Chain A
Amino acid sequence: MRKKEAFWFYILVSPWVFGFLAMTLGPMVYSFFLSLTNWDLFTAPKFIGLANYVKLFTKDTIFWKTVFNTLYYAFISVPLGMAFSLFIAYFLNRPIKGSAIYRTLYYIPATVPGVASALLFKWLLAPDAGMINRFLALFGVDGPAWLLEPLWVKPALILMSMWVVGANITLLMAGIKSIPNEFYEAAELDGATPIAQYYLITLPLLTPIIFFNVINGLIGSLQIFTQIYIMTGTGGASMGGPNNASMMIVPYLFNNGFRFYKMGYASAIAWILFVLVMLLTLLVFRSSSAWVYYETEVRKS
């Protein structure tokens, strides 16, 4: 019986195992091999050792710029988005009428597919006719040319990322709902204001969800592509402008691999991205014991 059970286990998991070998493990090994070669897709790959990595780290100034741009984007948009979500979640959580309507209103932008929101924001961020600058003009502010200025293109992309914090808010609200009411009642007896309650009870108990969102957000924003492809430069193949100020890691990988057919070089970039994602995830995990609070854990004091 046990033997038969094991046999069926292997049969039933075989689609996933096959997919893992053919779509994940095999390609990973192969892409690492490719990263050590010079290959244009049409002639045979030429083994060149670590030359691609050496070139990326020592000679390719655009690559360094893309790493800087990507980290700039991730490290500002993720915490800022989190803060904005927590801010809204506080108000949504106050006892008000119609909170379901508000929740829906904040959530809808998160449902818009990336291509649609990128096309839309390209318009909203237009220098003169764009809605954002016209809105700023109401307050007498002369808005920048956003996507056309090296200094403002990244802030523009970060601004856009604030539009889609709805998914964060939904998770936070679900977390808030699961906090026992007794905690608040006890705090109220002690005379804590709603804001103090939010800081001292809600926030600490939400840290596991915040943690989850921060990791997901970081991994997602390190892989930013669609917005860059559609909104920056003249779009499409000549993305990342002005002056590479919005060139990020994945668009750069795309250009090298699928425009210039430098498959080896693109593979090396992919591996650096992989290591970067792992390192950052590890870092957030390592730091989590300092700021994430689990209800079931016993604290060392």
Chain B
Amino acid sequence: MSRMSMYEKLFVYFILTALGLLLAAPFMYVISMALSSDATTSKLTFTFIPQEFHFENFVRVFTTRLNFGQFLWNSIILVFFSMIGQVFVSSLVAYAFARLRAPGKEIIFVILLSTMMIPSEVTLIPQFILFRKLDWINTLLPMIVPNFFGGAYNIFLLRQFITRVPVELDEAAQIDGLGFFGIYVRIILPLIRPALVAVAIFTFIWNWGAFFGPLIYINDIDKMPLALGVQILSATNSAGQIPPWNLVMVGALVLTVPMVVVYFFGQRFMDQLSLTSGSLGIK
């Protein structure tokens, strides 16, 4: 890359800073709203730059009757079990696709890849009927259990990683008497640990803010994960009653911060994995 002239440099900095501030400005507004008093909230006179600093709002959402602790706990349960399911089942299936030979394998793999293109809406209503029959309404099971069948994207990703592990390791383990499952547990899993962390991160990102599923399956406030809980809080708009927007925005922040943290942790991790280059690159 060529060196830039003084003017060009200034211009680049100006554009990047101006656009960056524009994109960052909404965060300022959320923070300002989250720190507002109830009086300001009831008059809806929020300011862009915070004028009041009611940090106790962050405590209030957990201590008053808002169920925030419960929302958060439900989200943690949902994400934790989804991660367990995806990490173990996807890697097991991926190992089979990467290493074992069987008739019909190619066809099954093509079907697996093609399911990535199917919009979830087309299976939505029968799934709803199925989960209703199983009496899973008002539980987190409809959101958790499908993860225990593995995800096509994760299986594909992990398969690519497993094919990079030298086959000689498998063969040596086989000579030492390990079976196929033993090879998966003792050889493959430890060697693809970084990829497993990547799958856990993806699963977190996809499930933490889950809204559509909980909206359909959960009616009890006590069972709701955070995203739905925050939305419900903002919608208690019955006849002139103004939603507690300051607390809603605290909720939005509580919902957002773990995502930002995981992304930061994840991005550094992904750079090491170089997911976007080499044989895994998007072609």
Contacts and interface: CB of A to CB of B under 8 A. Distances in A.
Same complex: yes
Interface of A: 2, 5-6, 8-10, 12-13, 15-20, 22-24, 26-28, 30-31, 34, 41, 88, 91-96, 102, 104-109, 111-116, 119-121, 123-124, 129, 131, 134, 163, 170-171, 174-175, 177-178, 184, 188, 194, 208-209, 212, 219, 222-223, 225-226, 229-230, 234-236, 250, 253, 257-258, 263, 266-267, 270-271, 273-274, 277-278, 281, 294
Given A24-B118, A174-B276, A116 B149 contact: no
A223 B136 CA distance: 25
B119 interface: yes
B19 A88 contact: yes
The 7 tightest CB contacts between A and B, nearest first, are A19-B149, A113-B209, A27-B126, A6-B102, A9-B102, A12-B96, A27-B123
A230 B211 CA distance: 11
B283 interface: yes
B149 A111 contact: no
A34 B126 contact: yes
Contacts of B228: 115
Given A163-B26, A223-B120, 7 more contacts: A24-B118, A34-B125, A111-B256, A113-B259, A175-B276, A178-B281, A273-B122
Contacts of B19: 88, 106
A13 B159 CA distance: 12
A31 B149 CA distance: 21
Nearest to B277: A178
Interface string B238-265: 0000000100110011011001100110
Nearest to B85: A15
Interface residues of B, number: 92
Contacts of A294: 283
Contact of B93 (A13, A30, A121): A13
25 contacts: A8-B100, A8-B181, A12-B93, A15-B92, A19-B150, A20-B149, A26-B126, A27-B127, A93-B1, A102-B16, A108-B24, A113-B209, A115-B209, A115-B252, A116-B227, A119-B248, A123-B33, A178-B277, A194-B1, A230-B231, A235-B234, A236-B235, A253-B121, A263-B129, A281-B117
B102 A5 contact: yes
Interface stretch (B61-69, B108-116, B192-200): B108-116
B148 A219 contact: no
A270 B283 contact: no
Nearest to A18: B149
B122 A271 contact: yes
Given A15-B149, A19-B150, A96 B16 contact: yes
A15 B148 contact: yes
Contacts of A263: 125, 129
B211 A115 contact: yes
- Majority secondary structure, B binding face: helix
Given A111-B259, A119-B230, A278 B235 contact: no
Contacts of B124: 27, 31, 253, 257, 270
B268 to A, nearest CB: 11
Contacts of B129: 30, 41, 263
Nearest to B15: A91
A299 B124 CA distance: 43
Contacts of B282: 171, 208-209, 212
B20 to A, nearest CB: 4
